[in-house]
Chains A and B, each alone.
Chain A
Amino acid sequence: MISDWFKTKKPRKLPRSPASGPAPAAAPEKFDAIVVGAGPAGSTAAYFMARDGLDVLLLERGPFPGAKNCGGAAVIAEQIHDLFPNFWEEFPYERIVTSLEYWWLNEDSAVTAGFTSGRLAAAPYNRLTVKRKNFYAWLAAKAVAAGAALRLGHRVASVILDDGRTVGVRLAPPQSAAVLADIVVLADGANSLLAEQAGLIPRLSPLNLSLYAKETIALAPETIEERFNLPPGQGAIISLIGHPTAGYNGTASIHTFRDSVNINAGIAVNSFAAGGFGPGDLLARIKKHPRIAPLLAGGVTLEYGAAMIPEGGYHAIPPLVHPGLLIAGDAGSLVNGTHGINLAMWSGRFAAKAAYAAKTSRDFSAAKLSLYRTLLDESFVLQNMRANAKAAALQRDAPYLFDLYSRMLNEAAYLSVRAYPMPIKAKRRFVWRKVTSLQPVGKILADAWRVLKVVKG
């Protein structure tokens, strides 16, 4: 008897007949937010939105996060520590960077400057070299643990606009479905085709995007520590300026990983077009250089790759806030010099804040979402980019800058180092005349003034 009473009290689930109501396949799924791209910006945005209780879908076109991006990377630990406290305890970073060097290279020589200190090896660390695959996987796992739904192998074909407002995304085959959301965060990387196709940002310019090639070369950890003069577990980043970029402004670098070394080199896409060579040529130049070849000797190349980085600086940033849509990370050109991961993560964090504010007020207009732009403006992201705003224009106006001055530096160093059978005063005059024969004094001063103006901001 008591069991009968208990049965009547128990809530009964009514079986829903398949005929009643719309079939589940026909109605598109609906989320609070869709994040396109599980990179640093996307996963951070997904994590914070999910943590704040939003229903988040994180879409990634690769088979795992990080599968589609490459290039040696180092993260600035303290900025990420503010987002994810003590994050270095949670994922396998490669090395703690305690040595930062700049090498100005000629064909056969190098003038170097650098700083090494064990002080940089204590937590909170300064920089940590990371493999993208490990770092992105950790970050995406954070988002999933916070409640975001991560779908891999899902490419977004387009954003769905309804009367100018983004209401969702359309997935490319094989899924070919529409997924709706109140807000879409576009974090689809440097070559943001989605925003461009939707007419939200202007067509990308080959002046503003740099193409980098990279090679990962395996070396034993002890060999790396010996060759780069490092204590165990610590790493070096060497920026290579001048010869590696074949006469154009651009950068090359060496990042030390735990058991491999990553070399990157790149210049603007239009410089490649003008120069008539490709990114592979730059890598070949670096590997042949007499100062660099011994560092890599005996190493086995594990992987080659290439990727674009937006380097147009502050003035190349497209409109980032649209009704129902925010653009974060590389897709929004939020790269300062070659620093991108930290800016991407913070832009994702701010996008999440703006999305949450929009969700709580049920207002997804550009005016409400402009909180995102305000937060960016008030943070280091755009403040640092504004400080370097004139750098991109200077590099375009003076395309000889990196190459010529590296050459002069090396020439001056060579002539000064060499002992000549002449009085010291005559030697000074000789060195001065030789160096200024490469660039007249007036032009050197003019360039110095231009650089000073850029630094002043």
Chain B
Amino acid sequence: MTKPPGINIALCEFRPDDAWQHVVIAAPEKCRSCREKNCLRVCPSAVFQWDNIPDHPVLVRYRQCVECGACRLACPAGAVEFAYPRGGYGVVYHHG
């Protein structure tokens, strides 16, 4: 579970919502047979993490999500359920 290069989420301001997870894998059983696992690489903030052990689930670290929504589109099985976090929570950009 190494951090992919170029991902600097330490520099983002996050206001994480501990009460509600906005990105979920709604159908984890689909991930078991998924060979692509696009989510692991497409995500610009490494929200999805997996330890390469076949039966292990893909972890969703939603607190570091930058809310681009690409995971939902990239998932070949349609297993990712994406919504925006509650009002006022989530990533906050300051520098354009």
A positions within 8 Å CB-CB of B: 61-63, 66-73, 94, 130-134, 152-155, 171-175, 190-191, 193, 204-206, 209, 211, 213, 215-216, 257, 260, 262, 269-270, 272-273, 276-284, 301-308
Instruction: Establish whether residues A131 and B15, one from each chain, have CB atoms under 8 Å apart when the complex forms.
Output: no
- B42's nearest neighbour on chain A, judged by CB, is A272
List B5-22 residues whose CB lies under 8 Å from chain A.
5-9, 11-12, 15, 20
Chain B binding surface, main DSSP class: loop
Of A172, A277, A306, the residue contacting B86 (CB under 8 A) is A172
Provide a sorted-by-A list of 9 A–B residue pairs whose CB atoms are within 8 angstroms.
Answer: A61-B84, A63-B92, A68-B92, A70-B96, A152-B88, A155-B85, A277-B4, A280-B44, A303-B95
Minimal beta-carbon separation of B80 from chain A (angstroms): 12
Bin the interface of chain B by size: 35 or more
Instruction: Establish whether residues B94 and A273, one from each chain, have CB atoms under 8 Å apart when the complex forms.
Output: no
Instruction: Establish whether residues A282 and B96, one from each chain, have CB atoms under 8 Å apart when the complex forms.
Output: no
11 more A-B contacts (CB under 8 A) besides A211-B42, A269-B70, A279-B44? A61-B85, A62-B88, A62-B90, A62-B92, A66-B96, A70-B96, A130-B96, A155-B85, A211-B68, A283-B6, A307-B66
List B30-71 residues whose CB lies under 8 Å from chain A.
36, 38, 41-45, 66-70
Instruction: Establish whether residues B6 and A301, one from each chain, have CB atoms under 8 Å apart when the complex forms.
Output: no
Q: Which among B8, B45, B66, B95 has the greatest number of chain A C-beta atoms within 10 A?
A: B95
Q: Work out how many contacts link A and B, with CB atoms closer than 8 A.
A: 156
Residues of the A chain whose Cβ atoms lie less than 8 Å from the Cβ of B96: 66, 70-73, 94, 130-134, 216, 257, 262
In the bound complex, how far is the Cα of B44 from the Cα of A339, in angstroms?
Answer: 22
Minimal beta-carbon separation of B53 from chain A (angstroms): 20
Instruction: Establish whether residues B88 and A153, one from each chain, have CB atoms under 8 Å apart when the complex forms.
Output: yes
Residues of the B chain whose Cβ atoms lie less than 8 Å from the Cβ of A306: 44-45, 66, 68, 70
Q: Which among A94, A215, A281, A304 has the greatest number of chain B C-beta atoms within 10 A?
A: A304
